[in-house]
Structure 1
Amino acid sequence: MPELVETVDVAAPPERVWAALTDWTRQGEWMLLTDVEVVGATTQGVGARLAARTGLPWRRGRHVGVLDTMVVTEWDPPRRVVVQHTGRVVRGPGIFVVTPRGTAATLEWTERLYLPLGLLGRAGWPLVRPFVVVGIRRSLRRFAAFAAAHPG
């Protein structure tokens, strides 16, 4: 199972970083080529369900591409949240950890991926991985600015 781990320092206190991170419907403001909606009545905490679409911009801030469904499986504010990707293409846990650094914080984003398509998916991962890493790094840089300005 491939694992990606990336971090970013954020010039905001952990509570504000947490609030920005779990502001699910605004995730598209920092996550590249993605829009997110909460599915169901639970918006925070274990059991919250999310649907993200990552791909090319289409209209009204929506994207056409891969549907990534998720459920929150761990919730420890303002330190750790785990979302289990349950889609057909994206599967496995996404882990976000907020670590205090004085009056600021560091966000660590880990993705443990269950690759689709069996042997073909494993063979193709080395070709796709660099693009995924670049996208995550760019998203994290955008997140740092988003969290610093987030009302908390």
Structure 2
Amino acid sequence: MPGIRIVHRTCLPPGEAWRRLTDWERHGAHVPLTRTTVETPPPTGVGTRFTARTGVGRITFDDPMEVGLWRPPSGGRAGMVRLVKCGRVVLGWAEIEVRPLEGGGAEVLWREDLRVRGLGRPFDPLVAAAGRLVFGRALVHLLRT
């Protein structure tokens, strides 16, 4: 599985960065050709399920995910959410960690182990590069807006 690791610093306080990064429906607005739908009622927590549907017309695939760990930042402690990908096409997991920075702001660490069914190991570098590009762009936009 290709590993993806993105680190980004923001002036936002950790709680606000967390709020923006865990607003799952907003993710679709920043990933090309993707719409995200939350399938469980609020609030978000362990067991929350949502699906990112990517594609055009009939050529689409779903990336269903479930929150496996939910620990918002609090009292100077880092926050962590772990998403388990449970679809037929996209497999693996993602973690988003939001750490407070001394003097203000936050550092975000986004990690993914991602596998696309049907693509063998020779495609791992391509999948990782595409993931870093797409998720890095989404991360910046989610924190900016």
> Which interval holds the TM-score relative to the shorter structure?
0.7 to 0.9
| CA displacement 1:17-59 (0-9 Å, x = unmatched) | 1111111222223334322111133541000001111234x6x
Structure 2 vs 1, CA of residues 87 and 129 (structure 1 numbering), >3 Å: closer, same or farther? Answer: same
Match of 2:128 in 1: 129
Match of 1:111 in 2: 112
Distance in structure 2 (CA, Å) of the matches to 1:10 and 1:85: 27
Structure 2 vs 1, CA of residues 140 and 41 (structure 1 numbering), >3 Å: closer, same or farther? Answer: closer
The answer (yes or no) to whether the contact 1:9–1:144 under 8 Å persists in 2 is: no
What is the percent sequence identity of the aligned residues? 35
Match of 1:71 in 2: 66
Distance in structure 1 (CA, Å) of the matches to 2:52 and 2:43: 14
Match of 1:150 in 2: none
TM-score (norm: length of structure 2): 0.83
Deviation at 1:142, TM superposition (A): 1.3
Distance in structure 1 (CA, Å) of the matches to 2:135 and 2:98: 16
Distance in structure 2 (CA, Å) of the matches to 1:48 and 1:4: 23
Tell me how large the CA RMSD over aligned residues is: 2.1
The answer (yes or no) to whether the contact 1:8–1:108 under 8 Å persists in 2 is: yes
Distance in structure 2 (CA, Å) of the matches to 1:37 and 1:91: 18
> Whose helix fraction is larger, Structure 1's or Structure 2's?
1
Structure 2 vs 1, CA of residues 99 and 64 (structure 1 numbering), >3 Å: closer, same or farther? Answer: farther
Structure 2 vs 1, CA of residues 130 and 76 (structure 1 numbering), >3 Å: closer, same or farther? Answer: same
Secondary structure, counterpart of 2:4 in structure 1: strand
Match of 2:92 in 1: 92
Number of residues of Structure 1 aligned to a counterpart in Structure 2: 139
Distance in structure 1 (CA, Å) of the matches to 2:90 and 2:19: 25
Unaligned runs of 5+ in 1: 147-152
Structure 2 vs 1, CA of residues 66 and 77 (structure 1 numbering), >3 Å: closer, same or farther? Answer: same
